[in-house]
Amino acid sequence: MINVMRANYDSIDRKIIVTDLQKSVSTKTHAEVTKEFVAATSYILSVAVGGAAHKKVAKKVATEPLWETKKFEVGQWFSQNAYFVVKEISGTRITVENSFGETMHVSKDIIEKMDSGNHFAKEVQMNMTELAELLESVGDTAFTVSFRKQVKEDDVQEKLKTFSPA
């Protein structure tokens, strides 16, 4: 998991810092640890699903075959993990762009059998440990994560100061 995170996050101006969580919690505030985790995770998820960070990252596209093409035969199996974003809907024909930047047309019945990062049955509140465990367990499944700032009394007091009495 750490190697996947590094491959998707590290660049010339940005490096993911992997530390022992117990050590981080003892040397940094909860807010600092949470901020670092959210920043790295949000960036990685954004790249994977096509958010703002996705536009800043050059796509890795294989230019050379990954296997000996002269040994290509009927009956061989191949696999590829790709994520799709819907670009157009026309009846049962859906135009999508995959995570490799290729556009294709897919029938609605095929899309309906895919996991969705936007359609879900329930919301589940999690702490950062539970979220980290989820990220390690979901594999290639598309999903949505929404971070909500925990409301604290000081934040409410500051917000109330911005309002003038009626």
pLDDT value of position 49: 55
Q: Give DSSP secondary structure letters for 11-58.
A: -SS-------HHHHHHHS-HHHHHHHHHHHHHHHHHHHHT-HHHHHS-
Residue 84 has pLDDT above 70, yes or no: yes
The reply to whether the predicted model has a pTM over 0.75 is no
pLDDT value of position 95: 93
